[in-house]
Structure 1
Amino acid sequence: MPELIETLRAALDHPGDGSSDFDLNPDFKLPAGRKLRAAGVLVAISLAGATPQVFLTKRSSALKHHPGQIAFPGGKQDEGDKDVTAAALREAWEEIGLPRHLPQVIGHLPEHETVTGFRVTPVVALLEQGFQLRPEPGEVDEVFLVPLAHLLNLENYIIESRRWRGVQRHYFTVPYGPYYIWGATARMLHELAVRMK
């Protein structure tokens, strides 16, 4: 486990550009003068079990935005948040009941720009002990764990496409069992996998 932690830290310290939902769509023109809202998501890696695993959520099907999609705990930075790291930790507490003092933040992945106008910072943290999951009913239908090894294997990533606003849009997916992990979440995980290669 110490070797994994050292490798993770080195991967996060590696310089590199940010990513976006448009990476696989070079012909897409970003709107001029767009304003992005800051957000933070928590890439929480549990070390409490036999193998490292990553916490993900299935968003409530009743939500207006991205219903039923797979996502990291997290959300936009509020006025009361010191920074995006604080936002990610607050949202993880609100969404899945993760106590703010448990995650050991070890670094950040580059910012990711979403089609919905957010500049998302993935906050990578380690959890060395378990906690009582408490999904927020209004936001989260399910919390589940995915083996880190699955997410770090670049062979598990697939590029798919669908029509979006009249054009064919390509994006990453990294399916796991019954879970269809795609879009921004898969793109940020792909960045981590590339850095850990």
Structure 2
Amino acid sequence: MLLLAAPGFAQSLKTVKEKSRYLTEEYSVLADNKAVRSGPYKKYFREGNVLLEEGQYENNQRVGQWKFLANGKEELVHDYTAKKVIVNTRKNPSSVGLIQQADSLAAVELEQPPLYLASSQQVLGILMRESRLPLNLMKAGTLEASFRIAATVSPSGAHYRIIPSVQDKEFTTLSRGAVQLALNEVEWVPAVYQGQSVTCIYTLEPIILHGVAVSSTIVR
């Protein structure tokens, strides 16, 4: 026998507040099934309690328009139901991406670069807080270095590769860890080329790091 809910029946919800190293999430779950998100959702940067995004869940799915904010201003609005970007004020460093053509990769001018569905204040804030120059580089006199993130974005997800300005294993490892934390579980809207969603390799703006002079002399 199939039981149907009566029109206007509202399921009881329970509010959850979840904190991580940098973020606070507030969302609702079903009172009788805490694994199912349903209702309003908000995310804040814990430092300053700054609102980063807000939207609505329905049966564990993001639905309707979600707003992503940076420095208190709306920078991106994505409609998850219509699968469409409504507002985008984010400045992309470039519109060039690498896509597969024939048997090789070709650099093309994209009609729409891929977009990550998160606040840039969240992503860049975590990257800058987690990235650093290792001590061995500063001891060797390297007081500035940078890395870029090459994101391979497809309709099924994204993978990241680090392009460091200096070849140092520890620096690459530290940078990779920062990227993993900053972009963990972040969804993307694929790039558009010739009216079609395409898989492409897209390079984000560099993260530039500065260090301080460190003496290698041991004082006894």
The interval holding the TM-score normalised by the smaller chain is under 0.3
Whichever of the two has the greater Rg, that structure is 2
- Between 1 and 2, higher relative CO (CA 8 Å, sep ≥ 6) is seen in 1
Which is richer in helix?
1
Q: So what's the TM-score if we normalise by structure 2?
A: 0.20
